[in-house]
Structure 1
Amino acid sequence: MGVPPASDILILDEAHNIDQTASDCLGTEFSHRALVRVWETLRGVEGRNCLIGSLQEIPIEQRLGVLDLIRKAEKQFHESIDWFLREILGDSSRIAVSQDTAVVGLNHFIEPISEVVAALRLVARKLLHDEVKKECEGYINRLDRIVADAKMISDLQEGAPWLLWCEEVMIRSRSHPTGVRSAAFHATPLEPGRILNEKLYPHFESSILVSATLSTGGDFSYAQERLGTAKTETLTLPSPFDYQNHLLLYTPDDLPDPVDADSYFSQVSVRIDALVDLAEGGTFVLCTSYSSLNKLYESFCQSHGLPPSTGKSRSSKKQISAFRQGDIPKERMLEEFKSAKKAVLFGAATFWQGVDVPGRDLELVIITRLPFQSPDDPVLDARIRHCRARGGNPFFHIQVPDAVMQFRQGIGRLIRSKTDRGVVAILDSRIRKKGYGKEFLASVPPCRVASHLDEVQQFFSKPHP
């Protein structure tokens, strides 16, 4: 981490995301994605736009030698990736890997790339035109950074508070416009807060971290641990919004446990239909996985006579539009959602936070499941094992607080101004039936609570503030 510029005060907004941002910045990724773009520029695609071939001042034998090294490097890269996908990842989409596995895998890539870099340096020394020389050196620097990332991952010490993991990715390029399977290696710090505490905060006299979701049930300890701010003063300020009159929390007690998947999806689909019919404005349906998002979206389209399609489905009969995350760009989707007379948007991940739709355009937020991270995620699994090794209870020290913070972000999509009003519907019975449910309920602003649809109907029948 570089040393930040000298200053007296550091102010970080949306501070609940700082540890994830730090993990992304401090972590390292090595994949075919960056490399393939360099290869395509150097060797061209289908015999066209070949940078190496265009260097007429370089002897033809030397140019052909560089192109041959690139072809060999690509061939070895693809063979190694195929082996890794088959033998290491297998049926998994992402897994943690040992230091030895990472070293073996990455060394297959480092050596051929380094050979290409050495050959390119010899070429660059002979170039006379500054612009061409600068372009060639730019690609050398990019390859150097790719090799440095690979070495950084392979050189990490076993047992350090870092996770080495690998995932299958689909890479699209000019050579493969429809995509080709590949693998990406990652090194992710397990304690980004500790690094922030050592490398960032000491450079400032004061640090102010601001967010609407830093506390869990009024307790800041989890956020303080995550963000590396144990020795801090905390302050909770009252909201300017009248939640008591403008927000209704709907938590039905008659839905099955999400563990009973078939019954759960069937009944939740019916409940979503009923809630959308009652709402006067737009609706967000927030899901915790893309598989459940697709399943609920398709069920909704079918029940409302909407043809599932890329982009938007609209019913002239009920004057309702349905959107599915991923079908069109996010910003365009939000614009069309706001302009529709009555719209339902099915979203995951990015729609839980950082989305602002004030006014009548959004009056119902449906949270289909409590947002626990998938236990199959290798980073979460490593954090759990790390916590357990230190004598902690990972479910209550990591998984519940993480989910509560995400839950609060989801609820926060609804009331964005003093005149907004609406209903947040939690269609996960665990919030009522499990002991940890009270942690989620305690994170909701003081408001009215309902368990029956007729109460939702009464709420929406009242005049808008």
Structure 2
Amino acid sequence: MTDHDDMSALLGADGPFARELPNFAPREAQQTMARAVQHAIAEREILIAEAGTGTGKTYAYLVPALLSGQRVIVSTGTKALQDQLYFRDLPKVRSVLGTRLKTALLKGRANYLCLYRLDQTVREGATFDRTQAAQLAAIRAWSARTRRGDRMELAEVPEESPLWPRVTSTPENCLGVECPFYDDCHVVKARREAQEAELVVVNHHLLFADLALKQEGFGEILPGAQAFILDEAHQIPELAGQFFSQSISARQMTELAQDSLHECTGITGAIGMLLEPVEALQEAVRKLRLALDPLPQRGAFQQLEASAAVRVAMHDVRELMASLTDVLAAQAERSRGFANAHERAANLSERLDRIVEQQGEHDVRWYEQFPRGFALHATPLDLAAPLRAMRERTQAAWIHTSATLSVAGNFDHFARQLGLDDPHTLSLESPFDYSAQALCYLPPALPDPAARDYTERVIDAVMPVLQASNGRAFLLFTSHRALRLAADLLQQRVPWPLFVQGSAPRHRLLEEFRASGHGVLLGAASFWEGVDVAGEALSVVVIDKLPFAAPDDPVLQARLDALEQSGINPFMAWQVPSAVIALKQGVGRLIRDVSDRGVLVLCDPRLSTKGYGRLFLASLPAMPRTRELAAVQTFFATATVTAGQDS
């Protein structure tokens, strides 16, 4: 074990990182965070560390983690960050420290090629169109040479290709030890490596699937860790809600029905027993989806119970799920596949009954519908209790870090959501000089965001800023409707390349935006975070409205009602803090490097007209603010002059 001063020595100006890594900049904030992480791991404490952009938080937790002598799980919010951490950052830190510790990368099962399902897909000889046939050929060729079987390696088959679900497994359809390809299984190998490693890099989806439900079957790996480090921890409250929910979807039921029929091949008399109950269930699921049609896309369970058509259709689905389960029970002895299908049917039937009948005050029951399906959910009203119980079971250190966890320096909202009682907290400001590198422009005379012509007025206010910056902008919207309207309005008005979310996969839009040099990118929710464009290609970030959560979310509505009943103002205690953290994520896109310069345009007039607006502004990095367009034009004009002098 190293002592505290070692962190300063290792990460300081005369340390091995500064000597061996080009472009490594020693930062006081990074050393402070490394010491706090080291202490938390040693003492098994709970730590919340907010580290502004540019702090170097990845090294600040990897260095003490690798030196701790403890088994550590590092979890990230996205698979992209997971890969970056494992393939780029971790090798550098290990090499500088000279450590030989075993490390492993582990993703959810759907990320790994399943050799059995690939073999089945090839044997079925289904008629694929030309694109899919070429993709299948590419997957087959890759399967012969890949060591990990991680689909991230095969960039030529897009992530959204319908072939991936056919050549990867789910917990339901995996044959386990009875699989003829078990000895070469990529999932089994990845799990084994993770079990033997001292540091494992996972993502939040996998971590919570395992800790909350054991549904990925990775229960052997995560126990026994002495420390959990959660990067991008601001995503945890929403994700935890998904994993502590009970859910059932139309897709799960129809997939079960189809798999049951497939299993009949070659088993005498099975089709005669199964065809009728399977077709009846599929028809009942279709009727339930049709009965939901007149209702809002998502809503509380009371709305379902108020509709006679939905009540009848739901009753039929439950009856037919139960009878299919009985028929499968009679066939379960006849094949491994039937035994698996029976187990799935019993599980789904029980879950459906529990969600429909549950009247407890601790859960919010709600539904959502999709173009061709629906899902029913029961979500805990308060996540603090299950999360607290989960952490107590591990008896480990829990370290939560992100650039956006506090509201005006206060961590209460984040801590309350996760049930973190009396955590150690640390707030580290970004080392970037926002007062010199950035300017915040609050356009004057914009109407209330509820005004019908609000998006048109925002575009009018933003056009002169884009002219001053010569494009090079992100326009971030709180709704897809506003995004589409803005795209239509700008199509006619701008000479720069326009990149609109939804017109191509996110990574391609970003690559093309960077390459264009003067692009204007329009994005909604998923572009507010995890997007890194350093340098001149991005010099303006526009945010149309304060990102308050959509009022149609039945879980949020129930939580707000519960706060109100306990005498707390739900708007100030929940909605404002959540929106502040989301806004900070969007703002964080602007300055990504010590040499970046840029203008932040915050259009929402409530920042100045409402008392809570001050809380939003106080939570942002300290930068000069202006209502004068001339100040924005001067900011960009001086940047051009300086660039001319430098060249």
TM-score by length of 2: 0.61
Q: Which of the numbers 282, 288, 299 marks the counterpart of 1:95? A: 299
The whole-number CA distance in structure 2 between the counterparts of 1:433 and 1:371 is: 16
1:313 equivalent in structure 2: none
Q: Secondary structure at the match of 2:331?
A: helix
Residue 377 of structure 1: how far off its partner (Å): 1.9
2:227 equivalent in structure 1: 9
1:379 equivalent in structure 2: 555
1:213 equivalent in structure 2: 404
Q: Which of the numbers 441, 446, 462 marks the counterpart of 1:272? A: 462
What CA deviation, in whole Å up to 9, does each residue of 1:371-398 have, x standing for no partner?
1112222122111101101110011001
Task: State the AA in 1 paired with 2:282.
Answer: E
Q: Secondary structure at the match of 1:235?
A: strand
1:347 equivalent in structure 2: 523
Change (3 A) 1:100 1:449: closer
The whole-number CA distance in structure 1 between the counterparts of 2:457 and 2:359 is: 50
Give me the CA root mean square deviation. 2.4
The whole-number CA distance in structure 1 between the counterparts of 2:283 and 2:485 is: 40
1:81 equivalent in structure 2: 289
1:163 equivalent in structure 2: 364
Residue 154 of structure 1: how far off its partner (Å): 3.0
Change (3 A) 1:95 1:209: same
The whole-number CA distance in structure 1 between the counterparts of 2:364 and 2:527 is: 27
Residue 447 of structure 1: how far off its partner (Å): 1.0
Q: Determine whether 1:188 maps to 2:379.
A: yes
Contact 1:10 1:204 in 2 (8 A): no
What CA deviation, in whole Å up to 9, does each residue of 1:399-438 have, x standing for no partner?
1111101000100111122222211100111111111110
Task: State the AA in 1 paired with 2:430.
Answer: S
Change (3 A) 1:241 1:72: same
Contact 1:251 1:425 in 2 (8 A): yes
The whole-number CA distance in structure 1 between the counterparts of 2:435 and 2:350 is: 55
Contact 1:258 1:369 in 2 (8 A): yes
2:492 equivalent in structure 1: 302
Contact 2:385 2:419 in 1 (8 A): yes
Q: Determine whether 1:153 maps to 2:371.
A: no
1:179 equivalent in structure 2: none
1:21 equivalent in structure 2: 239
Contact 1:6 1:204 in 2 (8 A): no
Residue 451 of structure 1: how far off its partner (Å): 1.3
2:447 equivalent in structure 1: 256
Change (3 A) 1:124 1:201: closer
More deviation, 209-218/251-260: 251-260
Residue 37 of structure 1: how far off its partner (Å): 2.9
Residue 142 of structure 1: how far off its partner (Å): 3.7
The whole-number CA distance in structure 2 between the counterparts of 1:419 and 1:281 is: 19
Where structure 2 has 5 or more consecutive residues not aligned to the other structure, the ranges are: 1-211, 214-218
Contact 1:253 1:432 in 2 (8 A): no
What CA deviation, in whole Å up to 9, does each residue of 1:213-247 have, x standing for no partner?
11101111111111211311211112121111111
More deviation, 295-304/151-160: 151-160
For residues 46-61 of structure 1, the aligned pairs below 5 Å read 50-52=262-264, 54-55=265-266, 57-59=267-269
2:394 equivalent in structure 1: 203
Q: Determine whether 1:120 maps to 2:328.
A: yes
For residues 311-322 of structure 1, the aligned pairs below 5 Å read 318=495, 320-322=496-498
Q: Determine whether 1:439 maps to 2:615.
A: yes
TM-score by length of 1: 0.84
Contact 1:19 1:193 in 2 (8 A): no
Q: Determine whether 1:337 maps to 2:508.
A: no
1:324 equivalent in structure 2: 500
Q: Secondary structure at the match of 1:359?
A: coil
Change (3 A) 1:229 1:72: same
Q: Determine whether 1:63 maps to 2:267.
A: no
Please state which structure has a larger fraction of its residues in helix: 2
The whole-number CA distance in structure 2 between the counterparts of 1:394 and 1:190 is: 14
Task: State the AA in 1 paired with 2:278.
Answer: I
The whole-number CA distance in structure 1 between the counterparts of 2:331 and 2:561 is: 50
The whole-number CA distance in structure 1 between the counterparts of 2:285 and 2:617 is: 51
Change (3 A) 1:149 1:335: farther
Indicate the percent of aligned positions where both proteins have the same amino acid: 33
What CA deviation, in whole Å up to 9, does each residue of 1:277-319 have, x standing for no partner?
2224621111111111111111111223xxxxxxxxxxxxx3x
Contact 1:106 1:150 in 2 (8 A): no
The whole-number CA distance in structure 2 between the counterparts of 1:5 and 1:441 is: 42
Q: Which of the numbers 472, 475, 488 marks the counterpart of 1:285? A: 475
More deviation, 275-284/206-215: 275-284
1:308 equivalent in structure 2: none
